[in-house]
Chain A
């Protein structure tokens, strides 16, 4: 039997990541606990090398391989870069946090690499099965990472919840995919698109399948009404893992939306637009209102992430190049802010102390003025106040929505961000207006302070000069869709 060897070149980054993740897994066996930093250094090297590979192999046109199941296009390159960089930053932030909690182990690093691999596969998928494989690789790694602290009751509960609901969502997704397959006769995204365009697919079956696909996607993104896992998982998971769940996977989920809805089911735009609109409205409403009632910062940020994902959907539901561009800008800006905020919680935590209650942030401006200032920037950015990147993210999404004549949605969204401003202001109030309980500055090492400063100032710099990032997103979307 003659097995054709596929063209491996477009997938070289993924193949490298697979090999490297296995290598790190093996190498870690020979590293003693005291020298665990070697594993971390190796992991960071892998991520850096992968960045180099992605940059070097970047092309300007889509390239397909593995019988058209896999695509390497500028969009995938851009998103892979964002995922790799954000995970590298995350690992740098979480080192001391993990060491203090006896979680600084090889499993954490290799599971992270596998999760990254899963996300990279997701963003370059051109086939339902590839998408699903990437998604499951990501999800399984995350389930294990949440439960890494085996004797923590909240972490185990969070892992269990995430696992059960995640399995349910995967089931729905697969069910929806099978319907679409039934209607169009293909699982390849481009073939589905042509089948829909030709109008020969059974529309009822197709829309029925679409509902399940959107539900599954909604779960991964964490939008209402598929949001129930978000607060518990954000709250229960160790902060380093929460940061992982809340950052890079959002980029992967964005890719998932773009590939399935924007690329292959563009012909069903009116159908999925109204579904996304409902989810967006509910997410912004519930996310913002529930966040007000929280006393735990991680939980508050979980609800805030629900509302941010609602905003992201606004960009997607515009259903045109501009909408996808601004949604990509939004998700990158959100990941940047999220890294900063959770990174700050990691820096503020100590052995046996999680700085996750809102009251732990009292008087930070007296204890550590610079960190308080960075957190202030991050909070105003989350609230969408200029001159931070959060403003441009919101602004461009609103522009995309008004552009498709959904003025009511834009007005609703700004009203919701007004409510959102309240709870972000509360964090600023705690840091600046209240007296500190504990006068010590944060116990952060100089490198992590430098990184945090770069992160916080990037939020400001991208708010003052959003053009490069905007142009980058635009180029990636234009060349890929």
Chain B
């Protein structure tokens, strides 16, 4: 094991790059800001490569541990460490950041340095969330991501951006503030420790577990988001600039799923098990009801936003089935959704930059003028619908398999997503891509530029690669998920 603090590098390289980008000042040096931002994002990605190489897939324990005191008055430590679940999300995060910087290259002309810096900052902070082993450290990173996203939505967003930004901020703050009280309670009941490893060993009485679970649930259910606390997401997605939507969908939602896995399940397993029926019910509502809601959307971004909520229903379903297959499926689904929804938002961004409309009715027959784009868009749509051979299939299939083992009707309802998902996605594709050329603006469209083709091409490779050969991903997860489940089972009373 190398002595370099690799996790700290993964966190601080993007953050320091963000400061450098900010230092370039106003838009007179926008070019420099762009280059610096790309360099920072690539460096951030490079910093995560040693993690991928050095990670021991056979061990389910936390790896690359770093520990130094931070606030001894409250026994808060700068304690980092990752398992397979964190590793995949960190890699996804670093990868997405590069694409987002590239995607904003030409489109963003106003306050370029601040835009780029915000994304680098978020990237570093979210790596921090995924690698924090200390609850306060986790909370600090978790909350701090709100500030740059708030600014991104509010400054570069659409016409209704202020409403969306404030709603996003307050909604997420509501959940996380309750979690803060729960964290303090756990600190006191574990005898003065904020270390997750200590919390995993602390027995907590059932009535307290239920309250703590409620607080965690508020924080993570809002973040992921679950029905019925999802209403901030469509607003935030629609108003955010393309890059903001991509990061929001690809990574920020995953903070919620990750939180369930890292906090709710292992810290309060009895309450999680007792209330799993409720969570599963809400997840199935999301899958079915939100799928139907997505069907009637006329705005492409809104449609993808609702489809995200439905897909996240799968994640929470998989997590609360308490089986290895279900949790692995949930994490795979999170990663896949990162690729697919990110790609779809980028596709909508490509169209929006040209026509300046997100309405489905403003398009029609795009395939005639943008054939390359149409092919890629079709691929991502198929992945979103869960077509075998794409990454979207793997996670959904695993979760459905796990659900069958638990209860046939869970699986039955979850499987409806294959119908609804296909329906809303393909119907959108039909109306936007195929058919006669809809209007003069579509007729004047030019196909992808090299930069756009590169971004979408890389994502297409990722989507297909993960769909055809998911082994590297599941391999990383297997031991970690077993460890997690072992921990949960050991604390649960024998059935």
Contact = CB atoms under 8 A, between A and B. Distances in A.
A391 B184 contact: no
Nearest to A401: B184
A342 interface: no
Contacts of B136: 395
Contacts of A422: 166, 170
A370 to B, nearest CB: 10
B26 interface: yes
Interface string B347-375: 00000000000000000000000000000
A387 B173 contact: no
A399 B74 CA distance: 9
Contact of A418 (B147, B166, B170): B170
Nearest to A383: B173
A391 B136 CA distance: 11
Contacts of B161: 433
B1 interface: no
B173 A421 contact: yes
A386 B26 CA distance: 27
B73 A474 contact: yes
Contacts of A22: none
A410 B187 CA distance: 14
Interface in B74-92: 74
Given A429-B166, A432-B154, A385 B180 contact: no
Given A387-B144, A399-B187, A432-B155, A417 B177 contact: yes
A376 B188 CA distance: 33
Contacts of B139: 386
Tell me whether chain A's interface is mostly helix, strand or loop, or mixed: helix
Contacts of A254: none
A470 interface: yes
A466 interface: yes
Contacts of A387: 140, 144
Contacts of B181: 398, 402, 407, 410-411, 414
Contacts of A432: 151, 154-155
Interface in B119-168: 136, 139-140, 143-144, 146-147, 150-151, 154-155, 161-162, 165-166
B177 A415 contact: yes
B180 A398 contact: yes
Given A385-B147, A421-B169, A429-B162, A414 B178 contact: yes
A470 B70 CA distance: 12
B170 A407 contact: no
Given A385-B144, A418-B170, A432-B155, A467 B72 contact: yes
Contact of A429 (B25, B154, B174): B154
B74 A433 contact: no
A377 B307 CA distance: 35
A403 interface: yes
A402 B146 contact: no
Interface residues of A, number: 34
A386 B170 contact: no
Nearest to A396: B74
Contact of A414 (B143, B170, B177): B177
A326 to B, nearest CB: 9
Contacts of A407: 181, 185
Which of B74, B155, B174 is most buried by chain A, counting CB atoms within 10 A of its CB? B74
A334 B316 CA distance: 40
A114 interface: no
Nearest to B171: A418
A343 B195 CA distance: 39
Contacts of A396: 73-74
B154 A418 contact: no
A429 B162 CA distance: 7
Given A391-B140, A407-B185, A418 B165 contact: no
A437 interface: no
A244 to B, nearest CB: 31
B296 interface: no
Contacts of A429: 154, 162, 165-166
Interface string B18-38: 000000011000000000000
A398 B180 CA distance: 9
A371 B162 CA distance: 21
A229 B165 CA distance: 35
Which of A386, A392, A410, A474 is most buried by chain B, counting CB atoms within 10 A of its CB? A386
Contacts of B146: 385
Tell me whether chain B's interface is mostly helix, strand or loop, or mixed: helix
A369 interface: yes
A414 B180 contact: yes
Contacts of B143: 385-386, 391
Contacts of B155: 432-433
B140 A386 contact: yes
A474 B188 CA distance: 19
A28 to B, nearest CB: 44
Contacts of A433: 154-155, 161-162, 165
B71 A466 contact: yes
A398 B170 CA distance: 20
A414 B177 CA distance: 6
A459 to B, nearest CB: 13
A425 interface: yes
A218 B25 CA distance: 47
Contacts of B166: 422, 425, 429
Contacts of A395: 74, 136, 180, 184
Contacts of B72: 467, 471
A380 interface: yes
B70 A425 contact: no
Contacts of A403: 188
B74 A425 contact: no
Contacts of B177: 414-415, 417-418
Interface in A391-450: 391-392, 395-396, 398-399, 402-403, 407, 410-411, 414-415, 417-418, 421-422, 425, 428-429, 432-433
A415 B215 CA distance: 13
Interface string A450-481: 00000000000000011100110010000000
A93 to B, nearest CB: 25
Contacts of B70: 465, 467
Contacts of B154: 429, 432-433
A27 B358 CA distance: 72
Contact of A411 (B169, B170, B178): B178
B78 to A, nearest CB: 11
A331 to B, nearest CB: 16
A369 B147 CA distance: 16
Nearest to B139: A386
Contacts of A421: 169-170, 173
Contact of A380 (B26, B147, B180): B147
B127 to A, nearest CB: 15
Nearest to B181: A410
A221 to B, nearest CB: 24
A149 to B, nearest CB: 37
A406 to B, nearest CB: 11
Interface string B292-309: 000000000000000000
Contacts of B185: 402, 407
Contacts of A392: 71
A402 to B, nearest CB: 5
A428 B151 CA distance: 9
A467 B178 contact: no
The 3 lowest CB-CB distance pairs between A and B, nearest first, are A414-B177, A386-B140, A470-B73
Given A402-B181, A410-B184, 14 more contacts: A376-B147, A385-B144, A386-B139, A386-B143, A391-B140, A395-B74, A395-B184, A399-B184, A410-B181, A414-B180, A414-B181, A418-B174, A470-B74, A474-B73
27 contacts: A369-B25, A369-B26, A385-B143, A385-B144, A386-B140, A386-B143, A387-B144, A391-B140, A395-B136, A398-B181, A399-B187, A403-B188, A407-B185, A417-B177, A418-B170, A418-B174, A421-B169, A421-B173, A428-B150, A428-B151, A432-B154, A433-B154, A465-B70, A470-B71, A470-B73, A471-B72, A471-B73
